[in-house]
Amino acid sequence: MGKGNAISNFFSNITEPRDSNKRHKLIDLITVALCAVICGADTFEEIEEFGHTKKAWFETFLDLPHGIPSHDTFARVFARMDPKEFQKAFLGWVESIRSATKGIVAIDGKTVCRSRTRQTSPIHMVSAWASEHRMVLGQVKTNAKSNEITAIPELLALLALEGCVVTIDVMGCQKAIAEKIIDKGADYVLGLKGNQGTLHEEVELYFEDGLASKFKDIPHEYHETVDGDHGRTRRYWTTSADWLPDKGCGNSFPPSS
């Protein structure tokens, strides 16, 4: 990693959440935690353990005046940190270390396990996953799965997507979301079901006719996969959708490449 994308370049301006008498530098805490989580740490105890395991390496570029912080220290500091400040710094750092993404960016919503309490609803996160780089590019928290429609444009605004193909399930099949993706210089693949009534019906009829004629005289591509665990075969036919406007539907969606 070069000097231009060092963690300190992006996280050094985060507001210090602690009072005086600090034993550990904030940038040291953040750096150890980020490296630990990237390598699979899920808890503050595991972050501390990772820090001790890699202490000699960390000492080559961090001060660590009092060694590796305890897991309690990690927990207290991150609990007090401004999450929006951290997210902004994290996204900037991620953008600096990844090469230009030309592959798939999958946007999906998940409910965080064990996030429901007696007083609060479960936490729902909408995330952008870069398939080629196998990393999360950004996340936005929502109050419920039904709020994904408003959270997705907010997440898209945070990301550099030029040259990517953005995939979203049925919840994201909205004109405004498609337009946002095109505005970011990307293409899109959106799930289509009954939430786009006429459009869904026309596409369904088109493929029924195509299958009946074995796609004779219809330009198309065919792809087949076999599920290794169950031996299930999946067959895919893809074709251009440039005929949709002639059917009086689909023309409200901006064209994708």
Q: What is the CATH number of the domain that holds 125?
A: 3.30.420.10
Residues 12 and 92 occupy one common structural domain: yes
Residues 126 and 153 occupy one common structural domain: yes
Residues 105 and 161 occupy one common structural domain: yes
255: in domain = no
109-156 pLDDT tens trace: 887 666 566 666 667 888 888 887 777 788 887 876 667 888 999 999
pLDDT at 39 (0 to 100): 82
- Which of these three, 170, 190, 210, is where a domain ends? 190
- Which residues span the domain enclosing 199? 194-247
Q: How many CB atoms lie within 10 A of CB 213?
A: 10
More confident site: 37 or 59? 59
163: in domain = yes
Residues 11 and 90 occupy one common structural domain: yes
66: in domain = yes
Residues 53 and 110 occupy one common structural domain: no
- What's the predicted TM-score (pTM) here? 0.65
54-85 pLDDT tens trace: 999 999 999 999 999 999 999 999 999 998 89
Phi, psi of 67 (to 5 degrees): 75, -160
Contact at 8 Å (CB) between 146 and 207?
no
Report the pLDDT averaged over residues 188-194. 89
Domain count, the chain: 3
132: in domain = yes
Inform me whether the pLDDT recorded for 191 exceeds 60.
Answer: yes
Inform me whether the pLDDT recorded for 172 exceeds 60.
Answer: yes
Q: From residue 102, how far is each of 91, 155, 160 by CA, in Å?
A: 18, 18, 11
pLDDT at 113 (0 to 100): 63
pLDDT at 50 (0 to 100): 96
257: in domain = no
pLDDT at 149 (0 to 100): 87
